[in-house]
Amino acid sequence: MAMIALKCPEIQVVVVDINEARIAAWNSDKLPIYEPGLDEVVKAARGRNLFFSTDVTKHVGEADIVFVSVNTPTKTQGVGAGKAADLTYWEGAARVIASCSTSSKIIVEKSTVPVKTADAIEKVLRRNCKHPGVQFEILSNPEFLAEGTAIEDLTAPDRVLIGGKDTPSGRAAVDALASVYAHWVPRERILCTNLWSAELSKLTANAMLAQRISSVNSISALCEATGADVQQVAKSIGTDSRIGPKFLNASVGFGGSCFQKDILNLVYICESVGLQAVADYWHQVILMNDYQKQRFVEQVISAMFNTISKKKIAVYGFAFKKDTGDTRETPAIDVCRGLMADGARVCVYDPQVEDSQIYQDLGTAKFEWDHPTPKSAPVSKDAISISHDPMEAAKDAHAICVLTEWDEFKAYDYQKVYDSMVKPAFIFDGRNILDHAKLREIGFIVYAVGKPLDPFLQKVY
């Protein structure tokens, strides 16, 4: 919305949220999320044609176009728990829109939703609007930005996707929304489809992106078993232009708020229409991701003589990727839990993530985090500590686990780090970002995902 406000000065944009603390932060000097370049965009438009408010009914009532971007988490209970998308917040938003609309509106699905959601939302809107003559035209306009590169992605998107009904009013609504984006996006990049294609394209895009990571991660395990190098393999296959080099970095596993929930949602939809084989196929992407995180933990334990009990392990990076403070579904949660379950004393350092977030994440059950009041149990402060200094985090530690690819991790003085650690000192590079040859020269035992194993780490059968 900030980008639309920046690029379309004649359009008034009001962002409304029921969360007062978030709106207060959007109106302050410290925005509630860390996203490179976002501060500048917000500051350029805020107070001009970009406003943040908790007065949902007033601003929705006055709007011609309403973008609905509420959360669509995985259900935690009831039918479809653990897979289906929970549309409670979406339905709640639709009811509010219906109750406060005195004029016709275009309703834009910006959240990622199951295919056919527009049908359900239309029913809620139609049945709840008290004003005769008010019409709602629903469009699907899924968002493809990635966190950490959101401003770049929004400035020059590969495509903008708009799905609408093939009726005169549907086509007019699609044109109206397309003309907003056309302020800065070339027309040929604005793709117009039917509603169901747009909804399903979003889930499929995320599933196929995540599938690439699970595919290369599955091969990383085979590389370790055979002496192949996953980065060499990724480069070799990625130079085939039909495959391409992007999104082929082996890692400790993918995280983020969307891949897992969207694939599970796709799996559930397939099951609901009786396509079990299709559901199983996509579910394997998630299972491979779980396997990759578990495999990493097992590698740490086995390398350190099958016992990490009471050993201090420094974790470098808690965010799900670099350049964001977001920790939703970060692989660090499962890895830290795995290490703590084996008795390790974990000390986390992350340049952006708040301490309270780390404690909350480690104490919150799966799928709970994306609901407004997640149930969270306190975690033992003996098992987990947080440091704001990477040197201090590594001091007296037996091992360092690199779980996020923050650039600053490459620039540390690892001789100094090594000197302060217990020997043998281990580094487990879950992102393949460090200079492994140099670390070995210093004296570290190095494990890197999908790389030939140090003789020290090779299992003796």
Ligand X SMILES: O=C(O)[C@H]1O[C@H](OP(=O)(O)OP(=O)(O)OC[C@H]2O[C@@H](n3ccc(=O)[nH]c3=O)[C@H](O)[C@@H]2O)[C@H](O)[C@@H](O)[C@@H]1O
Position among 42, 138, 209, 258 found at the interface with ligand NAI (CB under 6 A): 258
Nearer to ligand X, 118 or 258 (CB): 258
Position among 74, 140, 201, 257 found at the interface with ligand NAI (CB under 6 A): 257
Q: Does 281 bind ligand X (CB under 6 A)?
A: no
CA distance 13 to 197: 27
CA distance 383 to 345: 5
Nearer to ligand X, 117 or 249 (CB): 249
Helix (H, G, I), strand (E, B), or coil: what is residue 222?
helix
Alpha-carbon dihedral sign for residues 390, 391, 396, 400? positive
Count of CB atoms situated within 10 Å of the CB of 359: 17
Q: Is residue 299 annotated as involved in ligand binding?
A: no
Q: How far is the CB of 332 from ligand NAI (least distance, A)?
A: 18
Q: How far is the CB of 88 from ligand NAI (least distance, A)?
A: 9
Q: How far is the CB of 158 from ligand X (least distance, A)?
A: 9
Q: Is residue 95 annotated as involved in ligand binding?
A: no
Active site residue 129: no
Q: Is residue 187 annotated as involved in ligand binding?
A: no
Closest-CA residue to 398 (of 310, 327, 290, 320): 310
CA distance 152 to 38: 10
- The site partner of 89 among ligand NAI, ligand X, none (C-beta below 5 to 8 Å per kind) is ligand NAI
| Residues 385 to 424 in contact with ligand X, rule: CB under 6 A | none
CA distance 142 to 161: 7
| Residues 111 to 150 in contact with ligand X, rule: CB under 6 A | 112, 143-147
Q: Are 150 and 256 a contacting pair, CB within 8 Å?
A: no
Nearer to ligand NAI, 199 or 224 (CB): 199
- The site partner of 69 among ligand X, ligand NAI, none (C-beta below 5 to 8 Å per kind) is ligand NAI
CA distance 58 to 39: 26
Q: 145-159 b/e with 16+ CB inside 10 Å = b?
A: eebbbbbebbeebee
| Residues 314 to 373 in contact with ligand X, rule: CB under 6 A | 320-321
**Among 258, 270, 347, 401, the one annotated catalytic:** 258
- Residues in the interface with ligand NAI (CB under 6 A) total 21
Count of CB atoms situated within 10 Å of the CB of 251: 26
Q: Is residue 259 annotated as involved in ligand binding?
A: yes
φ/ψ of 384, rounded to 5, equals -135, 135
AA letter at 430: G
CA distance 421 to 412: 14
Nearer to ligand X, 247 or 418 (CB): 247
AA letter at 342: D
- Residues in the interface with ligand X (CB under 6 A) total 21
Helix (H, G, I), strand (E, B), or coil: what is residue 287?
helix
Interacting residues with ligand X (CB under 6 A): 112, 143-147, 206, 209, 213, 247-249, 251, 254-259, 320-321
Interacting residues with ligand NAI (CB under 6 A): 16-19, 22, 56, 69-72, 89, 92-93, 96, 111-112, 143, 145, 147, 257-258
Name the binding residues for NAD(+).
17, 22, 70-74, 111-112, 147, 258-261, 328
